[in-house]
Amino acid sequence: KMSSTSSSSNSVTANTSADLQNQFLTLLVAQLKNQDPTNPMDNNQLVSQLAQLNTVSGIEKLNTTLGSISGQINNNQSIQATTLIGHSVMVPGNEILVGNDTSTPFGLELESAAENVTVTITDSTGKVARTLELGALTAGVHSWGWDGKLAD
């Protein structure tokens, strides 16, 4: 529904622009027909008025093009999101959501290799629930599953 509203808005703007161009040209032709032959319109004024009309027209075309590009980007994002269905994704953060499965997946990313990696899992009060010694890890993304068992 938002797309149709946006499209309607753009078509109204385009019609208004065309109307303004027609009105401008009608007035310009009338001005040229009715000018004093002994004191004709200055060429600079005529060129300036035509340039202003072209500038407005160009801006409206640019707005239409940007609106189209924006719509395409939104469509591409939606399509890309659908490719993630059924796949696991890792999002930045420092919290994990404990699931009902036998294992809760989590991961970490290391910018460089580490000799001894320790993961500390705490509860909502900050109390240590479990400490996992992962040992030496290379740089990159690593994923694990937590069985939900507590330290004690």
Which 3 state secondary structure label does DSSP give 77? helix
pLDDT confidence band for 124 (50 / 70 / 90): confident
b or e along 80-113 (b: 16 or more beta carbons within 10 Å of the residue's beta carbon)?
A: eeeeeeeeeeeeeeeeeeeeeeeebebeeeeeee
Residue 6's pLDDT is what?
Answer: 41
pLDDT at 116 exceeding the cut of 90: yes
Domain locations in the chain as residue ranges: 2-82, 88-152
Residue 146's pLDDT is what?
Answer: 81
pLDDT at 112 exceeding the cut of 50: yes
Q: What tokens appear for 126 in the block?
A: 């900050």
Residue 34's pLDDT is what?
Answer: 83
Residue 1's pLDDT is what?
Answer: 33
- Record the pTM: 0.41
Determine what percent of the chain is predicted with pLDDT higher than 70: 87
Residue 7's pLDDT is what?
Answer: 45
Which class does domain 88-152 fall in? mainly beta
The predicted model gives 131-135 an average pLDDT of: 90
Q: Is 49 or 7 the better-scoring residue by pLDDT? A: 49
Place of tokens 């290391």: 110
Residues 17 and 19: their CA atoms lie apart, in Å, by 5
